[in-house]
Amino acid sequence: MAKIGLLATLEVCKGTRAFWSPSPERKGLINMKSLMPVIAIAMLSLANPSAWAASRTKRVIITYKPGTSQMSCDKTLAKLGGKSLAAVVGEDNGVRKFVATVAEIPSDSELDRRRSASAQVLGDWVPGVEDLAASDGVLAVEEDYRIKWIESAPVSFHNMPLPNGSLETLGLGKFQKISVAHVPQRDEIRWGVRKVMAPSVWDVTQGAGVKVAVIDTGIYWKHPDLEGQVAGGFNAITEDIDPESYLDDNEPGHGTHVAGIIAAKRNGKGVVGVAPQARLYAVKVLDGEGNGSLSDVIKGIIWAANNKMQVVNMSLGTPMPSPAMEEAVRYTKSRDVVIVAAAGNSCVSAGDPTACKEGSGAVLYPAAYPQTIAVSASTWDKDSQITGFSSRGPEVDFIAPGNDIVSTIKGDKYDSLGSLSGTSMSAPHVTGLATLAVSLGYRGLEGPDGVLNKLKTAARTLPKVASDHQGSGFLDARKLVD
């Protein structure tokens, strides 16, 4: 995520409720500090029951066991008295490997009647869902919440009083708005691409033909450095494949900036990406403000898997785990798709970039899932320290350039460039390198011929950076072709 704040937060404090037991399958031990923002939101919601009731959502995601038929899904929904809004299905050789329904559940449904007061704290198990799962093949039921995935802003509490303190005392910290530094035209190889040594291997591979999905705000494919680089796409919000539908409408163009880092043209103008001959696909799951629903993000992941993408970049995140998203990520991995995800910008610096204030700094989701490659952010200086804002933890796999990264933004000229900072910028550097690895014959995430293993062989440990801040270390593209 671009460094425009500290963590993904609830857009309108809708009383997000999760009807599942938190999954123990995380890359490392679950860190309690990752729950602090969520607990704070829940505390504030409980402080005003009337506000909670007024904001109660009825939109949910029901995730089923693999192989569940559509008829069974329909029966379950009928039992809940719900209405289907969308079916999200991932198939492999005709077998339904990922099955979910986005639905609207009325307030007097069976599920709502079973909701207990304790369920108002995020992550609690709701009595009765066990029975539903046993008889109907349901894995999980969760709210289809809507948040800001790439821009952090103060949580909107609808003027609810803060219990005994401020945002800072709750571990939510201070927030900043994005500032984009427009940069002059010069050498197209910018520091991040040069630092990972990508130009050194372009005589061997530039990632030609590898299909790379950018799950984000869309891509402004009219930019001259991206024109002809975007081979297709999908708007998960409108379920449209018209090119205009996945055009980036974010300011300054978050998905466009990410896309440029991965695969901007190599033509001596503007900027060049790590893998300039890759085939980009714009998967728009967020609106122009960076907001999006959980279900739209999941639709984007499933679209990428179903359409045989080889590498996926997800420069977005949430502090809240999701069973549906985890299942979607697991299914995508099973299709030999490599997901690279931004670790997050959740660290509130304690005055030293190596330390975060208590309650901040945890890796966000989906990067925290073991089926992804999680990337933290490094500085541009010679020693490549971790940035003060970068999330860190045992889930991190690699560290990559994430400070003052120049890339494409919305605009119709080569000098439509901007400088952004964040793990949103770090992830696409690794995505580009993963693309180069795929072009060399490596497939899928794991195994001896997997992309992750190959990337690990190309990594070097940064001596002044803690192991859980950098994972296997900083990547050197030259080692991919050794």
Report the catalytic residues. Answer: 216, 254, 424
Question: What strands, in cross-sheet order, belong to the sheet with 146-148?
Answer: 9-10, 146-148, 291-293
Sign of CA dihedral 457, 26, 213, 421: negative
Residue 225 class from Cβ within 10 Å (0-12 exposed, 13-18 middle, 19+ buried)? buried
β-strands 59-64, 138-143 pairing: antiparallel
Q: Bridge partners of 224?
A: none
The HSE-up count of residue 238 (CA atoms within 13 Å, CB side) is 15
Q: Please spell the DSSP secondary structure of 429-446, one letter per residue.
A: HHHHHHHHHHHTT--SSS
Give the span between the Cα atoms of 347 and 36, in whole angstroms.
Answer: 12
216: Cβ contacts below 8 Å, ≥ 6 apart: 150, 248, 254, 255, 258, 259, 282, 283, 284, 285, 286, 313, 314, 315, 316
Q: Cβ(227)–Cβ(221) under 8 Å?
A: yes
Q: Bridge partners of 418?
A: 182, 407
Smallest CA-to-CA distance from 332 within 307, 302, 311 is with: 302
Smallest CA-to-CA distance from 387 within 423, 441, 435, 334 is with: 423
CA 20 from centroid of its chain's CA atoms = 21
Smallest CA-to-CA distance from 140 within 285, 31, 14, 298 is with: 298
The HSE-up count of residue 222 (CA atoms within 13 Å, CB side) is 12
Question: What strands, in cross-sheet order, belong to the sheet with 459-460?
Answer: 230-235, 279-284, 211-216, 311-314, 338-342, 372-378, 398-401, 474-475, 459-460
Give the span between the Cα atoms of 257 and 218, in whole angstroms.
Answer: 10
Give the span between the Cα atoms of 313 and 135, in whole angstroms.
Answer: 37
What SS3 state is found at 259?
A: helix
